[in-house]
Amino acid sequence: MNDCIFCKIARDEAKAEKLFETEKSVAFLDIQPRSPGHTLVIPKKHVVTITDLEDEDIAEVFKTTRAVVQILKKALDPDGFNIGINDGRFAGQDVMHLHVNIFPRYAGDGGKSIHSIVYNPLSEDISETAARIRTSANL
């Protein structure tokens, strides 16, 4: 996609602080970091959501994610990481190009676990939810 900022970064047409790159993925620092070392990992191929990505490309994105976590551990010595994807606009995805957020976490940083993102308790028994999912997926 020509006007996608992440595609431009992948093609070296836009400036970014790249940390790691492979043939199919690139990792760069977020320009609005939530913590020191906040990094984004993207596929070079333009896709919007995780379900749009082919198997071999998703494997590459997560191999890159693991490599960047190792790099950040060594360079910044964080106490932990939150790693996540905002998959779709209603999940908070601002740039419509799939990206994995890597948030280095530090003791006392005020952040919470990934479980704090949403609280929407079930209105049915968990077994009913599982049955609906299995039926829909033909499992």
Contact 40, 30 (CB under 8 A): yes
What are the respective helix, strand and coil percentages of the chain, to the nearest 5? 35, 20, 45
Residues contacting residue 74 through CB under 8 Å, at least 6 positions apart? none
- CA dist 22 and 2 (Å) reads 21
Q: Which residues of 30-55 are buried (b: 16+ CB within 10 A; e: fewer)?
A: beeeebebbbbbbbbbbbbeeeebee
Amino acid at 101: N
- 46 annotated active-site: no
- Which one of 38, 46, 97, 99 is the catalytic residue? 99
- CA dist 37 and 27 (Å) reads 11
What residues are labeled active site?
A: 99
